[in-house]
Amino acid sequence: MRPVILKTGSTLPELRERRGDYEDWIAAGLGLELVALEVVSVYAGAELPKVSGVPAVVVTGSSAYVSDREPWSEDAADWLAELVAAGTPVLGICYGHQLLAHALGGRVERNPRGREMGTVEIVLLPEAEGDPLLGGLGNPLSVQATHLESVTELPSGARPLGESVLDPHHAFAFGDAAWGVQFHPEFDAEVMRAYLVARREILRAEGIAPEPLERGVADCPTGSALLKRFADFAGFSV
């Protein structure tokens, strides 16, 4: 079987029409054609493949909430736990990061520090030194983020790798081959701005001025570098 993109949601409709969806951006970051990957839209009812046949997985973001414990999400969490136990390379992005933490026994809930959105700085922790994905990328890192829920308690045995002002668990590793990152390595500046524009009124209702966030958006090479490192680590073939 080809490496899997576990699709847990879809991007903004207007953005999808112009730029494609999460799987397109992730594939590009991995340095692969989308046809080299198996996209499994679990949120839309697609059947999860057998764990024994999966060489590696990237889990996408979503507008859903892990804390809602929807049946498809809980099934995906159980599947991810089996993959991690089998030593399969796994990378969880945003919702995928939270789902992976939940699958391994962590806690996911509404971020008590509030919504985090825009181009933000991640400070790498000592545990990130030498990490196959994050080690040596620089410190701090500029990344794109948009989330309301967070991992508020890491799974037992997880290694914390990075934190931001609003999220102390922005990146973690578990075992030898599983990572979760709250940020979106597949987002570029155009995508991030589109999300900020779409969320302007929500941000204002929460007491957050969107204009400074929009002005602060910048491209972040960290994202594509991280995805390429995961592709190399997992042995993806072009």
Burial of 132 (0-12, 13-18, 19+ CB in 10 A): middle
- In what helix (H) or strand (E) does residue 121 lie, and over which residues does it extend? strand 116-124
Q: Which of 23, 94, 163, 170 is catalytic?
A: 94
Report the C-alpha gap between 53 and 20 in whole angstroms.
27
Q: CB–CB of 146/184 below 8 Å?
A: yes
Reading the block at residue 17, the tokens are 């029409």
Q: Which of 97, 147, 170, 184 is catalytic?
A: 184
Catalytic site residue 170?
no
Token match 């933490």: residue?
Answer: 101
Report the C-alpha gap between 235 and 126 in whole angstroms.
26
Q: Which of 23, 116, 149, 186 is catalytic?
A: 186
Catalytic site residue 220?
no
Q: CB–CB of 107/81 below 8 Å?
A: no
Q: Which residues pair with 93 in a beta bridge?
A: 181
Residues 6+ apart with CB under 8 A from 96: 6, 8, 58, 59, 60, 61, 180
Q: CB–CB of 97/151 below 8 Å?
A: yes
Catalytic site residue 186?
yes
Report the C-alpha gap between 14 and 35 in whole angstroms.
23
Q: CB–CB of 172/180 below 8 Å?
A: yes
- Residues annotated as catalytic are 94, 184, 186
